[in-house]
Amino acid sequence: MKNQLLHVFRNTPFGRETLLQSIYMCQKMQMHLKIYIPQYPQFLMYFSREIVTIHLDSSFLKFPETAKRHAEELVQDAGLEASFLEPKGFTASTLPDIPTDFGFMTCPRTISDISSKIGLGYIGAKVREIIKNSAFPVLIPPPVFKKWNSVLVFFGGSQNALNAVKVGINLSYLSGFPLRMFTYAQKKSRSYYEEIIEQADLTNDLEKRLVEWIFITQGSFYENLYEVPHDALVVVGAYGHGLIKDLLFGSIMEKVQSFLPNAMAIVGPHYGEY
């Protein structure tokens, strides 16, 4: 199922916007859309290192009588093929097991907390657990559907940032959209970062897709986030050294989210392991 995107559908106006983002991703990436309409307030995901129990926000269970019809209408209007996930395994009678061997998964910024109380600069604990354990990138859409017309990778030199570069190259190649990189130099030369990319054997692939390297040597990190195009899909590594570690799992996270309302593809520390 590596060429499938998993989407947990919420039958609300916000859920509609999130599904539209998944539909757009599948159109641009030639991926099959797999939609799960939950019937229970929890489900399990058996990752290789950890079993993650997802406690759904109650809004995911609202209006079940129209949920499938609404999802089908959105998919059909887009001219996309999709299928619905029916869990085959149950750890308990009301605790379905959801597969984890997808190519992508879409998560709103929060899946377990009350959505109306969550600001832009917050990623919920359960979404972070999925990112931490998954071998696939996680798409975090903006609150309202917006098309992305380019791909931008944050690159800070870590191993997980290199994985983000790999994902970014693939996204750019399959979508046909231009690729950019953003590096906050932290007093290091451009050649330092080029050497890391060369050692990872990514130079040739990157040069085929890269149209701009936004290499920042002056000013604050936050000030320079203005250079990120508003219509870019941002690709970031969830773990790493220094900036990237703080960016996604430290106190800086909420500030960055308030600066960047873009759709984000987050690459976790176990990307591609199985």
CA distances from 191 to 188, 195, 198, 218 (A): 8, 6, 10, 17
Contact indicator for 110, 60 with CB cutoff of 8 Å: no
Determine the Cα angle at 223 with ends 193 and 257, to 5°: 85
Pairing state between β 51-55 and 42-46 = antiparallel
Output the CATH code of domain 150-267: 3.40.50.620
Residues of the chain with CATH 3.40.50.620: 150-267
Q: How far apart are CA 118 and CA 271, in angstroms?
A: 27
> Other C-beta atoms within 10 Å of 68: how many?
14
Instruction: Report the pLDDT value the prediction gives residue 247, as an integer from 0 to 100.
Output: 47
Mean per-residue pLDDT pooled into runs of 10, the chain (274 residues):
91 95 96 97 92 90 96 97 94 93 89 53 75 92 94 90 94 97 90 96 96 94 91 83 50 58 90 75
DSSP string for 160-198: HHHHHHHHHHHHHHHH---EEEEEE-TT--HHHHHHHHH
Token pair for 100: 């984890």
Instruction: Report the pLDDT value the prediction gives residue 253, as an integer from 0 to 100.
Output: 47
| Nearest residue to 36 (alpha-carbon basis) of 62, 16, 60, 8 | 8
Instruction: Report the pLDDT value the prediction gives residue 77, as an integer from 0 to 100.
Output: 97
Token pair for 173: 């190649």
Instruction: Report the pLDDT value the prediction gives residue 84, as an integer from 0 to 100.
Output: 98
CATH number of 4-139: 3.40.50, 1.10.287, 3.30.160, 3.90.70?
3.40.50
Instruction: Report the pLDDT value the prediction gives residue 98, as an integer from 0 to 100.
Output: 95
Q: How far apart are CA 274 and CA 24, in angstroms?
A: 26
Longest dimension (CA), the chain: 58
Contact indicator for 142, 129 with CB cutoff of 8 Å: no
